[in-house]
Amino acid sequence: MSEMPLPPVARREPHTTTLHGHTLHDDYAWLRNKESQEVTAYLESENAYAEAWMAPTKPLQETLYREMLSHIKETDESYPYRYAGYYYYSRTVEGSQYTIYCRRKGSMETPEEIILDGNELAKGHPFMALGAFAISEDQNLLAYSVDHTGFRQYTLHLKDLRTGETLPDTAERVGSIVWANDNTTLFYSVEDEETKRQHRLYRHTLGQPQSVDVLVFEEPDERFNLGAGKTRDLKFIVLEIGSHTASEAHFLPASQPAAAWTLIEPRRDNIEYYPDHRDGLFYIRVNDSGRNFRLVTTPVDQPSSSHWRELIPHRDDVMLEDVDLFATFAAIGTRSNGLPHIEIAPFEQGAKLGPAREIALPEPVYSVGGGTNPDFATTSYRYGYQSLVTPASVYELDITTHESALRKQQEVPGGFDRTLYASERVFATAEDGTRVPVSIVYRRDTKTNSNPLHVYAYGSYGYALPVGFNGNRLSLLDRGVVMAYAHIRGGGDMGKPWHDAGRLMQKRNTFTDFIAAVQHLTARGYGDPARVSAEGGSAGGLLTGAVTNLRPDLFRAVISHVPFVDVMNTMLDATLPLTVPEYEEWGNPNEPAAFEYMLSYSPYDNLKSGAYPAILVKTSLNDSQVMYWEPAKYVAKLRTLKQDKNPLLLYTNMAAGHGGASGRYDYLREIAFDYAFILRTLGVERT
């Protein structure tokens, strides 16, 4: 057996930034030079070291890969939805990495038309991600966008679905796409080349060169992004412009794409609003009277707030997350006590809503949300449901009878028996007495008081951590690992105030909530305190970096995916993508108080000499959201400080972006690598 190589050592090159009386030392700033051969060589040496340390797990990785693959129905198709005379669906084929998008005219018995084949788009490329996907109202033209690097920089293409011809119309750095009702006019947004902020909206006429496209709107404020969409009744195109805390919307008739845009209500600090349209009225979800939003209506010709009439009031304990409008009913999405709900309310007279009926759900821990419902005049409502033990399911609710019918449930081959698994929800008590929800799943026949415990969380941007099914997870559960998902502050699990309580000058609550969740779980026998692993990605990687600094003794292993660990250097560089818009999430370090607070938790700046758990850090060279150099610098610095024999691994995907590998089989290989690291470091030896 060959000897384990020594870990790579990155050279140090002093670099300092002085602000507010503090000097930040960054000896690894040189790693930012992506074009440098030295940087490439360093990343590749880290990859080689990680592969060498993981080499004994190669058989386990292969076993895990085969297990996870056995739980996937490789040749499968989605449940179709009907729209404008066609049945639309997608499918996968065994051995193919990407999804194929299809339709059939009139019924599912007619010949299949392949709209777009992801496998064809991926040919010759190590990476492929589909961005926007919009079909014209006459169903003849497809506008779509593709990224081939992982940098989330999408190129617009148009395809004539009647002939299969790809048209010459194109544009670069495209975000949202929406067709006008004339089937020849297309609106698309583009991003700033440096900051990747969607800041311009263009109007394109089919067949015309991009050089004559009309710039219809440009947003100068660097905190704001823009995007366009269409109301479900097809009456209006809506331009939404938003930051993390404020928004505004403009509209024009979808049948008059050259008309002037009308502003609904000027943006105001800390006020967000989102409009939809039905029967001459805008229905606007807005948080002007409370953080958890209310619903108001206003006439199209009098859209400003002085004419708003309240339809659903604000509630302190219920977050109004979404309102889907249809001709005869509204589907109202709410969140309370950490769980999502859907209510169906009929329209009685005009805008008046009748009594709402909640869709009954069978489990105490679950995820539910609206499905694909493009038809404004529908008499049924499709929604998706899943839980930690119930595979993803498509239901259709009859609006008249309020009865739900299961249309398709994700098939999980390979001997899956849901009765072998149990899910629970508990509440941990944070330092300040706040009750933090935690969702748990485990295999019943392996549950003892000494199971290995794996805890995942995110906790940023008001994002509610979904509690869904994942067949890959069975490989850990079947080996006795208890898995938990902590719904910590900074997320949106308990409404908008939950987000507020874990951002800006209260961000540390996110970290202490996670620590409290881990302590609660081990104290109550859900896991062995000596065998706990933590996982988070992106802003969740900030979480894992912070809690590893705060309480390294709590964890035996940590996995950080594309982690936002270099908070200070990144947030002080306004030329980087996301920096300025994210002042509203983390704070502006050019302000002394914010600088001091952010510096107190920034993982890179708070590394110190001592013992650390086993750590696997994964990144991608073409990540546009958390640049590869953040995790690379973090690992390089930590190598000089850690005083233990636990592994510290950095693995960089040299041909992908923020989400890792794009092909479904390649992605499974990445998960097998992660799971093998967890099992090895937690002492679960069985292959």
CA-CA distance, 232 to 325, in Å (whole number)?
A: 7
The encoded tokens of residue 423 equal 């899910």
| Residues 456/666/658/34 CA torsion (nearest 10 deg) | 130
* Residue 516 near residue 540, CB atoms below 8 Å: no
Residues 48 and 24: their CA atoms lie apart, in Å, by: 31
Query: Could you give the count of Cα atoms lying within 13 Å of 233 in the half-sphere of its Cβ?
Result: 19
CB 462 within 8 A of CB 494: no
Q: How many CB atoms lie within 10 A of CB 48?
A: 12
Q: What are the backbone angles phi and psi of residue 568, rounded to the nearest 5°?
A: -70, -50
Contact (CB, 8 A) for 674 and 473: no
Which ranges in 101-253 belong to alpha helices (H)?
A: 118-122
Contact by Cβ (8 Å): 332, 342? yes
- CA distances 329 to 86, 237, 350, 418, Å, are 24, 21, 11, 35
26 is catalytic: no
Closest listed residue to residue 634, CA positions, set 541, 508, 533, 525: 541
- Report helix, strand or coil for 41: helix
The conformational region for residue 530 under phi > 0 = left, psi -120 to 50 = alpha, else beta, is alpha
- Closest residue by Cα to residue 191 from 126, 230, 147, 129: 147
Residue tagged 């193919």 (tokens): 96
C-alpha separations of 469 from 142, 421, 531 in Å: 32, 12, 24
**Environment class of residue 282 by beta-carbon count within 10 Å: exposed (0-12), middle (13-18) or buried (19+)?**
buried
Q: Tokens 């006020």 sit at which residue?
A: 271
Indicate the helix (H) or strand (E) that contains 477.
helix 474-477
Please count the other Cβ atoms lying within 10 Å of the Cβ belonging to residue 289. 13
CA distance 134 to 548: 44
Of the residues 169, 322, 324, 623, only one is catalytic, namely 623
Separation between Cα atoms, residue 451 and residue 529, nearest integer Å = 9
Angle in degrees, CA 335, 336, 337, rounded to 5? 135
Beta strand 100-105 with 247-253 is unpaired
Decide if 393 contacts 406 (C-beta within 8 A).
Answer: yes
Q: How many CB atoms are located within 10 Å of the residue 96 CB?
A: 18
DSSP state letter for 154: -
Q: Assess whether 380 carries a catalytic annotation.
A: no
Gap between the Cα atoms of 237 and 261, Å rounded: 9
Asked about 306 being catalytic, the answer comes back as: no
Pick the closest to residue 262 from 226, 236, 234, 223 (CA basis).
236
Helices (H), 147-202: none
Residue from 145, 189, 460, 538 carrying the catalytic annotation = 538
User: Residue 247: CA atoms inside 13 Å, Cβ hemisphere, count?
Assistant: 20
Residues known to be catalytic: 538, 623, 658
